[in-house]
């Protein structure tokens, strides 16, 4: 009984900051402003423009998850093949730990100062006759969000995928080589199947990370609400949309359901990864 008391602070934290807000969102999604049960909020979510915001959020999350997973896996592989105690590994892992948490207003400002209308790179290219914004203000739209989100998705992939690469045993490569297998055969029949659950699980984690991100998009997109978190912000703070808090909770319920499905799939893949890399 006494050892179980050590879990009380953790359970209290989960209850206050995870379970209680989730219950508030779920309960509020099915009541109107007078507290009566209704499905009107949920019905409104599947209509325009909220459904379009969900589609854009899914697109943004999927694109940045795939790009971040591929580029991050390549970087993690380059690090894993080097000296385990080398300078390169220490620098990359340390930088990834910092950059994976680098977001919000700071990241948005950094990109605007670099590739904004008067950013350093934009001005330099303009002097060479190249206009980054010839096709419009893409930096404030979905392509701009994809670029900014990829910045923190790649280092996150390095952090979560590097342990799986470290789990590959050198004996497996030696066994494949002794049986006459080429490097392609080793990756196709041994390393690839072993790493696949970890790779796709990490990609799902990146998807959930992008889908739930708010601060960077809020700082970068000052007008409009192209994704669900910004729609929720508008419903909670806009004077024009005053009294739409329960609709915002219905949108939050949709996000909770999407993230729950993604994390359930991630847990299943992690179980398979753990079984292979013990």
Q: Which of 35-49, 111-125, 159-173 has the lowest mean pLDDT?
A: 35-49
All structural domains of the chain with their residue ranges: 31-276
Q: What is the arithmetic mean of pLDDT over 238-248?
A: 69
Question: So what's the pLDDT on residue 276?
Answer: 58
Q: What is the arithmetic mean of pLDDT over 116-131?
A: 89
Residue 104 confidence class, pLDDT cut points 50, 70, 90: confident
| Percentage of residues in the chain having pLDDT higher than 70 | 93
Examine the pLDDT at 115 and tell me if it is beyond 80: yes
Strand partners, 238: none
* Burial class of residue 271, CB neighbours in 10 A (0-12, 13-18, 19+): exposed
Give the span between the Cα atoms of 186 and 154, in whole angstroms.
26
Look at the pTM and tell me if it is higher than 0.85. Answer: yes
Question: So what's the pLDDT on residue 160?
Answer: 93
Question: So what's the pLDDT on residue 56?
Answer: 92
Examine the pLDDT at 175 and tell me if it is beyond 90: no
Question: So what's the pLDDT on residue 117?
Answer: 85
Question: So what's the pLDDT on residue 158?
Answer: 95
Contact by Cβ (8 Å): 159, 68: no
Examine the pLDDT at 163 and tell me if it is beyond 70: yes
Question: So what's the pLDDT on residue 275?
Answer: 65
Contact by Cβ (8 Å): 16, 8: no
Domain 31-276: give its CATH architecture.
Orthogonal Bundle (1.10)
Structure tokens at 263: 């994390």
| HSE-up (13 A, CA, CB side) for residue 52 | 6
Examine the pLDDT at 59 and tell me if it is beyond 90: yes
Question: So what's the pLDDT on residue 72?
Answer: 96
Examine the pLDDT at 76 and tell me if it is beyond 90: yes
Mean per-residue pLDDT of the chain: 86
Examine the pLDDT at 229 and tell me if it is beyond 80: yes
Residue 238 confidence class, pLDDT cut points 50, 70, 90: low
Question: So what's the pLDDT on residue 277?
Answer: 55
Give the span between the Cα atoms of 83 and 171, in whole angstroms.
18
């Amino acid at each position: 009984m006494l050892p179980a008391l050590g879990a009380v602070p953790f359970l209290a934290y989960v209850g206050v900051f995870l379970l209680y807000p989730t219950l508030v969102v779920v309960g509020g999604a099915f009541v109107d402003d007078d507290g009566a049960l209704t499905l009107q909020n949920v019905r409104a979510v599947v209509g325009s423009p909220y459904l379009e915001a969900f589609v854009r959020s899914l697109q943004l999350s999927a694109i940045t998850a795939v790009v971040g997973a591929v580029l991050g896996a390549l970087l993690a592989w380059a690090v894993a093949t080097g000296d385990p105690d080398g300078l390169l590994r220490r620098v990359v892992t340390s930088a990834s730990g910092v950059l994976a948490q680098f977001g919000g207003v700071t990241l948005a400002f950094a990109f605007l100062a670099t590739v904004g209308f008067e950013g350093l790179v934009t001005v330099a290219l303009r002097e060479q006759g190249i206009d980054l914004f010839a096709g419009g203000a893409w930096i404030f739209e979905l392509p701009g969000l994809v670029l900014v989100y990829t910045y923190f998705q790649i280092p996150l992939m390095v952090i979560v995928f590097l342990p799986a690469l470290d789990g590959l045993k050198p004996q497996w490569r030696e066994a494949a080589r002794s049986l006459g297998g080429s490097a392609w055969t080793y990756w196709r029949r041994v390393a690839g199947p072993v790493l696949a659950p970890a790779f796709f699980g990490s990609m799902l984690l990146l998807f959930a990370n992008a889908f739930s991100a708010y601060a960077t998009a809020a700082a970068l997109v000052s007008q409009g609400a192209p994704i669900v978190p910004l729609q929720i912000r508008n419903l909670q703070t806009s004077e024009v949309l005053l009294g739409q808090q329960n609709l915002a909770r219905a949108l939050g319920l949709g996000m909770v359901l999407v993230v729950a499905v993604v994390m359930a799939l991630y847990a299943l893949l992690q179980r398979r990864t753990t079984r292979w890399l013990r």
